[in-house]
Structure 1
Amino acid sequence: MHENLVSLRAEALAALAEAGDAAALEAWRVRYLSRKGGALGAAMDVIGKLPREERPAYGQAANEVKVALEEAFAARQEALKQEALAAELAAGTVDVTLPGRPPSLGHLHITSQNLREYRAVFAEMGFEVYDGPDVETDDYNFGLLNIPPYHPARDMWDTFWVSQDAQPDPAQRTLVMRTHTSPGQIRAMRDRCPEPVRVILPGKCYRYEQITARSEHQFYQIEGLAVGRNIRLTDLIGTLHEFARKMYGPSRTLRVRGSYFPFTEPSIEADMDCILCGGKGCAVCKHTGWLEIAGAGMVHPIVLRNGGYDPDVYSGFAFGMGVERPAMLRHRINDIRYFYGNDLRFLGQFG
């Protein structure tokens, strides 16, 4: 075999052994086996320049070198594939001693958490939970609460009338999405009469309002009702003060001011000192130092009578408070729409 072919074979095999990846292997193929510009092709081009009698032996030797290099190339290519596969399998091996991934656990919605807290506080004061329907009759939502048809007090609530029952004459309308939890007062009194009543009525309310950062068309309220003999306004104020202390801290201060609700007489608004500034005045409390926590009052005699109680013998108090807005103050949430947006980035903060 000619010395140039021997040298070429040795050089090519040594270079092939050093090719450690697919890119290096391809570069080796181009350098030695390529038809144009390859070292083996250049060695074969010499055949035409040799004497006629030397050409057969040289050609045979060149073909032997070509076959040897092609076989070596294929073997090296397969070896690299096996090495890559082994490395991939090693990297993908599961270590059975590692701890597993824990399942993603849910938790109560922030509104549900607050409702449970409210229920627990009032349960300590002897109140039980009473549930009413979301779809109410006009009588329960308005009429029996001393709000007759065409009464201007109805303007206080923007009402969703049930579509198939949306009569043009308000006196003929009968079904609504409840605008407040107060209809439950009548239902609870009629269920318990003549026994004393002490219940809270949590639930959703619905109003035809523009959806903004401060208002939603649906929201939660908790209504409270106590009916019995010799119940006084001071009992109501004491109940609300105790609620504020248990929910927001023992140092809370309460004040009341006159207001108007058709189903209570007298009516009051209850405020507590701002939980953020301690009553000094801030942007949240509009620099008054006070935050409204409930609308309340003594149950109106007409409402007592509609519930089945004699107002000359029995008296009672009622109060209503929101759930989302106190939570907004407590956690400094600036948009009520987050409560209904199902955004896990928001909900996950209250697990």
Structure 2
Amino acid sequence: MKSLKRLLLQLVEQLQRYPGLMAVLAFTSGIASYILVERKESLAQFIAVFLLLSWLWLLSDNWLRKRIEQRFGVAIPPTLVRFTLQMVHQESLFFALPFFLAVTSWNHGQAAFTALIMLCALISLIDPLYYKKLAPRRTLFVVFHAFALFVVLLVILPTLFQLTTSQSLGAALAIAGVLSLPSLSTLMPTGHWWRFPLVILLLAVLSAGLWQLRSFVPPAALRLTAITLSHEIDYAQRKPGPSIHRLDAAALHQQGLFSFTAVKAPRGLNEKIYHVWLQNGKEVDRIVLDITGGREQGYRAWTHKQKFPANAEGKWQVKVVTESEQLIGLTRFTVTPAITPPPQ
């Protein structure tokens, strides 16, 4: 056991000497997993299981350390525990980052969420920031810990269990909240009966607030590979006709518009999405679509909208969203006044 302990300490020392190595490995595994998840390869699922187990190990850290010391007489040094926690944070954030980079709509509030992941990943990489600025501030550290867990769950849950994006978001919020209870409880004064109910209430309020901001969370498991507005669809080839970005009101009312989308998702994932039509920022229609994951070019589907308001002029958007209102992508078009034919 002494040799094992010495080996672990040497490993920690080497990794601390090269702190960027773990982040590079984590980011590389994230890119590899992003590619493999789309094909549902066993390696991608293995990485997801490893991350999930590492989080469960961290949550039972104190109990495990006591049992190991009682059973084998080996006291795990605090340095190793702190480094392991940092390593799991790095692995989780850099693993999830490629998924979010690929699906974020950068002209939307989603950019702030993905930027926050990048900031947290950077903090986990820089030791002076992580150990001297973040770790001593207990409340901030608990929030950081819960956020890293929430982010990695958004990627893992659709991968392992084929949960829909909406189900994954709700489950990730619930799991991150429940598993943060031991950490949050340390922030409350001891010896009071209201301590635990207050923690539960605090978690419920935070979860409800985050749920209201769910549209800013990119759907990590879904990626829009194509969106086209057209007057026609080639049903045999499942391809849209010429793309339209500007048309007059007469043509819109006479022919309507097809909204063609291709959405890429992990194999085995069945998802319900919506085409939301907005005129000058106001929703006028919402059409549901069922998609299935696993296709190389994304699941191709379309809706045909023929009924438009009498006064259809203005700026239009077609948003592709999940059941929980998470934006997958959007396109825009402009409707101009009808062109009146010249007098004969």
Interval of TM-score (by shorter of Structure 1 and Structure 2): under 0.3
- TM-score of the pair, normalised by structure 1: 0.18
Asked which structure has the greater CA Rg, the reply is: 1
